[in-house]
Amino acid sequence: MVLSSILMLTMLGFVAAALLAVASRVFAVDEDPRVEAVTGTLPGANCGGCGYAGCEGYAVAVIKDPAIAPNLCVVGGPAVAAAIGELTGQLSTEREPLITHRRCDKNAGDVKPKYDYQGIPTCAAAASLHFGSDTCDFSCLGFGDCVKACTFDALHVENYIVHVNESVCGGCGACTKVCPRSVLQLIPRRSKVAMSCSTKDRLKAVMDVCAVGCIHCGKCVKVCPAKAIAIEDDRVQIDYEKCLACTDCGEACALACPRKILRLRGGAVLAHYDESRAISPALAKKIAEKSA
Amino acid sequence: MSIFEIFVSAIFVNNVVLAQNLGNCPYLGCSKEKGVALGMGSAVIFVTIMATLCTWLVQKYVLIPAHLEYLQTLAFILIIASLVQFVEMFLKKAIPPLYASLGIFLPLITTNCCVLGVTLLVQREELGLMTALVYALATGAGFLLALLLMAGVRERLETCRVPKALRGTPIALIMAGIMALSFMAFKGMV
């Protein structure tokens, strides 16, 4: 009795094993070993910053189609781009490392709440109710839709405004897609200046609600020697490709901004107010004339 | 019972998840989004039918002649596990698009008690092969229905304010309970 049952199960097991062994030969799929190698080099965050469904999706695409650039992974940066380039035999150029930048400083600008919002605690819901709960219709609402979207834990909400931890931000842009007010924007990590307001209102409408709102005076547009700044879709936009290609402006736009909204980034903030900072006298004069 | 009655009763009256409490793990685990629920549900339908076919034949032509019916559970688990592996390989080679949509769910089904439950129930009820296959299809469809309904409810729940203590699994279990209660209304239909 015991023997027969043991025998039977062993036999079944062997039959199944044999079938699977045969099947694994017959149905073997020739998978490109490079796909696995590329997947291994990618960071594995599956953030979708490259535009493909996860790291493996990009690995398959980049191996299959030589037209797809090997440097699309913003998170991995140059190291990963070089590794993929080596595996696929493609030339790889370094991709500009990006970072999320918040175009709102509502607490510094003392933006008041418009009403006491008690609905579903998401930015998307709050933004759809009477242009959001802030008096500024373009502010960061601070319900943290972007925090939920972030795969790198780089965002947190503090005092009803989101903060970006620049050291861990991968620059995938997931947060910029969920932000209903386009407050978050991707900018190059090495960019010198950044706009800290996203309003589309003008002049008094801005001044009434925020102390550090962009009034669209256009001074920055005029002073930029590289013509990198423009007002697009009612917002000041910096073309960083042009901006970073030019090096000798001495951050004229930041100096020209009457409301100190176009700022130097990060640790460079103090240098903004440093008189001895290198700026060509001719340009300084020009700026002074223009802003007078 | 006619085949039609078996079909209807397996979907609604004796729903595998809501009335028989089988396959609760994927029911809660794969019901966060409708797309995932659909993929998991169709994978279960597919595997259940295949497993029922195989185990029915093994039971009839191997276990019964050898008087080893008591080995049913062990043998069936073995068969289902290797069958799922086989199906996975086969799909990868023969129908890559189907593999891409069902592939990640197949390993999850290997030891799914919903699939095993159907094969064992078929033997307990002593159904014929055709009836057994219809029963398997209907059970899989019932599973898919439960999963889809749950996913719909949970997608709605995402935008509701749930008390903190109930967020996540607790509210999902409560929803599952309420859904099972509402499915009790089908009792007596067949």
Q: Is the pLDDT of residue A269 over 60?
A: no
Express as a percent the part of chain B with pLDDT over 70: 97
Residue A44 lies in a domain: yes
Q: Which of A135, A170, A187 is the last residue of a domain?
A: A187
Q: Kindly state whether residues A220 and A290 are assigned to the same domain.
A: yes
pLDDT band at A292 (very low <50, low <70, confident <90, very high): low
Total structural domains within chain A: 4
Structure tokens at B7: 């079909």
Q: Is the pLDDT of residue A156 over 70?
A: yes
Structure tokens at A82: 């070089």
Q: Is the pLDDT of residue A267 over 70?
A: no
ipTM of model: 0.73
B159 versus B173: which is more confidently predicted?
B173
Question: Mean pLDDT, to the nearest integer, of A92-109?
Answer: 79
Q: Which of A157, A187, A217 is the last residue of a domain?
A: A187
Interface contacts A/B by beta carbons within 8 Å: 52
Report the CATH number at residue A76: 1.10.15
- Distances in Å between the Cα of A55 and the Cα atoms of A35, A92, A193, A253, B162 are 10, 18, 32, 39, 34
Q: What is the mean pLDDT of chain A?
A: 80
Residue A135 lies in a domain: yes
Q: Kindly state whether residues A274 and A255 are assigned to the same domain.
A: yes
Report the CATH number at residue A177: 3.30.70.20
Question: Mean pLDDT, to the nearest integer, of A149-153?
Answer: 83
What integer pLDDT is reported at residue A274 of this predicted model?
41
Instruction: List the single residue in A4, A29, A120 with the smallest CB-CB distance to B159.
Output: A120
Q: Do B68 and A4 touch (CB under 8 A)?
A: yes
Q: Kindly state whether residues A207 and A286 are assigned to the same domain.
A: yes
Express as a percent the part of chain B with pLDDT over 90: 25
Of A156-160, A244-248, A265-269, the one with minimum mean pLDDT is A265-269
Q: What is the mean pLDDT of chain B?
A: 86
Contact A272, A223 (CB under 8 A): no
How remote is the C-alpha of A25 from its chain's centroid? 46
Q: Do A12 and B79 touch (CB under 8 A)?
A: yes
Q: Kindly state whether residues A201 and A180 are assigned to the same domain.
A: no
pLDDT single digits (tens) B86-107: 888 888 887 777 777 766 677 7
Residue A93 lies in a domain: no
Q: Kindly state whether residues A273 and A196 are assigned to the same domain.
A: yes
Q: Do A13 and B78 touch (CB under 8 A)?
A: yes
What integer pLDDT is reported at residue A272 of this predicted model?
40
pLDDT single digits (tens) A23-81: 888 887 777 777 888 888 888 777 777 777 778 888 888 888 777 777 778 777 777 87
Q: Is the pLDDT of residue A280 over 60?
A: no
Q: Do B82 and A125 touch (CB under 8 A)?
A: no
Q: What is the DSSP string of A107-144?
A: TTTTPPBSS---S-SSHHHHHHSTT-SBSSTTS---S-
Q: Kindly state whether residues A203 and A290 are assigned to the same domain.
A: yes
Q: Kindly state whether residues A223 and A173 are assigned to the same domain.
A: no
Q: Kindly state whether residues A267 and A207 are assigned to the same domain.
A: yes
Contact B43, B100 (CB under 8 A): no
Q: Which of B120, B104, B145, B125 is nearest to B17 (CA)?
A: B145
Cα distance between residue B48 and residue B60, in whole Å: 18
Q: Kindly state whether residues A213 and A280 are assigned to the same domain.
A: yes
Q: Which domain covers residue A65, as residue numbers?
A: 33-88
Residue A288 lies in a domain: yes
What integer pLDDT is reported at residue B142 of this predicted model?
93
Q: Kindly state whether residues A125 and A83 are assigned to the same domain.
A: no
A7 has a chain B CB within 8 A of its CB: no
Residue A43 lies in a domain: yes
* 3 state SS of A264: strand
B65 has a chain A CB within 8 A of its CB: no
Q: Which of A187, A219, A238 is the last residue of a domain?
A: A187
Q: Kindly state whether residues A259 and A220 are assigned to the same domain.
A: yes
CB contacts under 8 A, A 24-53 vs B, are 24, 26-29
Q: Kindly state whether residues A180 and A267 are assigned to the same domain.
A: no
Contact B87, B50 (CB under 8 A): yes
CA distance B90 to chain A (A): 6
pLDDT single digits (tens) A3-22: 888 888 898 899 999 989 99
10 Å Cβ neighbour count for A234?
Answer: 13
Residue A94 lies in a domain: no
For residue A173, the 8-state DSSP code is: -
Burial status of residue A56 (CB atoms within 10 A of its CB: 0-12, 13-18, 19 or more): middle
A266 versus A189: which is more confidently predicted?
A189
Q: Is the pLDDT of residue B164 over 80?
A: yes
CA distance A8 to chain B (A): 8
A232 has a chain B CB within 8 A of its CB: no
